[in-house]
Structure 1
Amino acid sequence: MAIVIVLILVVVGSVLFHAFSPWWWTPIASNWGYIDTTLVITFWITGAVFGAVILFMAFCVWRYRHKPGRVAEFEPENKRLELWLTVVTGLGVAAMLAPGLIVWKQYVTVPDEATEVEVFAQQWSWSFRLPGADGQLGRSNARLISADNPLGIDPRDAAGQDDVIVENEDLHLPRGKPVKMLLRSADVLHDFYVPEFRAKMDMVPGMITYFWFTPIRTGEFEILCAELCGVGHGYMRGYVQIEEEDAYQDWLTEMPTFAALSGGPRIRTVSAEP
């Protein structure tokens, strides 16, 4: 009976911890409330299964406890029970997968009006590149990375001359406008993660991964690397500043362009409207 009581207390304690836990996600700051909804659905399904399994174990311990003269029955298979378990398990897995697949499709289907912003990761810092007056990013290549060209931008591509370069500074973005984040890594696996945006994606050397989001409130939000990337992993942090359009444009015009950093004439950075 002690084991039965302990199992029941595990279920009750788990429910109470979930209901009153101080460790909950941060207030959302993007359009990805769908991800929160998907997590809640997953919690409900896995929580219900967890509770059902533990309570069933408690019932079995109590129902089939030792009694003098009781003999165990041998039943190697039960087709009816197996059918029910297969159906219920299949429905549970489908209920967890379906919302995630729907949200994933939205997550990688970028709106036409989204502005492209490149995130460049290397051990153990973040750099960023934004389009200039022409509204598009120039070509880049890892083979072109050097001390004078840390992002590997192709100097022969005219579209990249007015690209805005942000090194060792915060990334600024305007509130209410969709952004497509293009993710590149110079060395090992990294992961660009801003908890308040509910948005993250692995950054794989030799590939350009992406996701999109729309910031919905102003403020300062911390960037984390969510993939173990070496001894400095815990220090690989940065910040995203979400601002109103006027403040964002003021910041943008103060940022250097690739042309200016590479020794050419500075090109004034005025973002193109989508």
Structure 2
Amino acid sequence: MTALLTIIILLFVAVALWQMVKIFDLAQVGASNTQVADDNDNRLNGYLMMGFLVFIYAITIASFWYLGDLPLVSNAASEHGPELDTLMVISMIIIFIVQTVTQFLLHYFAFKYKGEKGRKALFYADNNTLEFIWTIIPVIVLAGLIIWGLFTWNDIMNVDQDDDPMVIELYAQQFNWKARYGGGDNVLGKANVRLIDLDKNNILGVSEDDPNAKDDVIVTELHLPVGRPILFKMRSQDVLHSAYMPHFRAQMNCVPGMVTQFGFTPTITTEEMRQNPDIIDKVQNINSIRIEKSKELTAKGEEGLEPYTFDYLLLCNKICGKSHYNMQMKIIVETQEEFDTWIAEQKNFANSLN
């Protein structure tokens, strides 16, 4: 597939260079220009337009065939995920239908009405009926999608405090993540980057004088209890980052100097997701690649790659610097009992200070 894409790119580059040479020739002042299209030229271009239409449809079908498996569509692990997926799929179907119809009309009419000697074009100054049709239909479709999207967005962002959501802070810095839990009172202590004190191991700038901060728990691995609403508060220490959790259909910018938030309810534990057929296929495919790569490394006397095991991940979705690609944190979704056991083993903020 990579070779095919490379060939296509080289073909496009060659066509672009060819067109640039033609433009340069036409731009020569005083040069004689005999490149006036005749019926044969117009006929050839008409057939080329139809050929390009076939190419567009062929590459579209090939893309669906080889790249159309979208495992994330069936692997939403949050309560709002399926509705977001439905909205995405419907949007893609509408785009596909419109693209298919409009591309056909564009190329077909270019072929049907190609230039011929003696034929005169019929010019319409305006056509109110056509203009109404191609205006009102997109307005209705887009308005429907936008309104649906706004309702979906409001459902996601309006976290009901009556559901007792667990409050967790996601702290972004080049190039890693920290998570801070509110502790037993589920209230995060005040924090400010000006309060960062590395000598005391206060790496998040949490206020030592705030009573609510004493039982806060700071970790480098995010654990979430399944079925419980989570409200994330997000901060950035340095530059603009973006907290992206693809399987939970969650993303929110982390902006220096302000707190942003995003909430969701995880619905599938890590162990359950590992049994998903799509995930099993993905893991097997990745490990088959790693085995081949390990053979190459071993032949060079280097250490082979460890087998891949699926985990949810928190990623940075903003290009925040040279190590942006490696800015991630593992997320473990587990039962409430497993979470309680894990959190009880962690040091609170007061005990972590030097």
* Counterpart in the other structure of 1:68: 117
- For 1:106 and 1:152, the matched residues in 2 are separated by 32
CA distance in 1, matches of 2:227, 2:62: 37
Summarize deviations over 1:9-42 as a string: whole Å, max 9, x none: 4235425633663551422211121111111111
The structure that is strand-richer by fraction is: 1
Residue by residue over 1:204-243, the C-alpha shift from the partner in whole angstroms, topping out at 9 and shown as x without a partner, is 1111111111111111312210011011101111110111
Aligned to 2:166: 115
How far has the Cα of 1:189 moved from its partner?
Answer: 0.5
Aligned residue among 247, 260, 263 for 1:209: 260
Q: In structure 2, which of residues 122, 128, 131 is the aligned counterpart of residue 79 of structure 1?
A: 128
Shift of 1:171: 0.9
- Cα offset, 1:142, TM superposition: 2.2
2:142 is the alignment partner of 1:93: yes
Instruction: Write the letter of the residue equivalent to 1:222.
Output: L
More helix per residue: 1 or 2? 2
Instruction: Tell me which residue corresponds to 1:267.
Output: none
Return 5+ residue gaps in structure 1 as ranges.
Answer: 264-274
Return the letter of the residue paired with 1:160: A
> Is residue 2:178 matched to residue 1:127?
yes
The residue aligned with 1:162 is 215
Range 57-66 or range 99-108, more displaced: 57-66
| Aligned counterparts of 2:338 and 2:173: Cα–Cα separation in 1 | 29
Q: CA RMSD in A?
A: 1.7
Q: Whole-Å Cα distance in 2 between the matches of residues 18 and 209 of structure 1?
A: 37
Equivalences, count = 261
Percent identical residues? 33
In structure 1, which of residues 187, 199, 203 is the aligned counterpart of residue 238 of structure 2? Answer: 187
Correspondence for 2:330 among 207, 226, 239: 239
Aligned 8 A contact 1:8 1:55 in 2: no
SS in 2 for 1:133: helix
Q: Distance in 1 between matches of 2:160 and 2:71?
A: 27
Residues 93 and 22 of structure 1: is their aligned pair in 2 closer, same or farther, counting only changes over 3 Å?
A: closer
1:18 maps to what in 2?
A: 64
Larger radius of gyration: 2
Distance verdict in 2 for CA 1:38–1:61, change over 3 Å: same
Structure 1 length as normaliser, TM-score?
A: 0.89
Return the TM-score normalized by structure 2.
0.70
Aligned match of 2:94 in 45, 63, 69?
A: 45
Q: Which residue of 2 aligns with 1:30?
A: 78
Higher RCO structure, 1 or 2 (CA under 8 Å, sep 6+): 1
**Does 2:346 align with 1:255?**
yes
Distance apart, 1:46 and its partner CA = 1.3
Moved runs in structure 1, 4+ residues, more than 4 A? none
Cα distance in 2 for partners of 1:18, 1:202 equals 31
Q: Among 200, 205, 216, which residue is 1:152 paired with?
A: 205
Q: Distance in 2 between matches of 1:99 and 1:8?
A: 35
Measured in 2, the distance between the counterparts of 1:22 and 1:85 equals 30
CA–CA distance in structure 2, aligned partners of residues 19 and 42 of structure 1: 20
Q: Which amino acid counterpart does residue 339 of structure 2 have in structure 1?
A: Y
* 2:57 counterpart letter in structure 1: V
Q: What do residues 74-129 of structure 1 show as CA deviations (whole Å, max 9, x unaligned)? A: 33433322222211221232133122111110111102221111000000010010
- Return the letter of the residue paired with 1:235: N
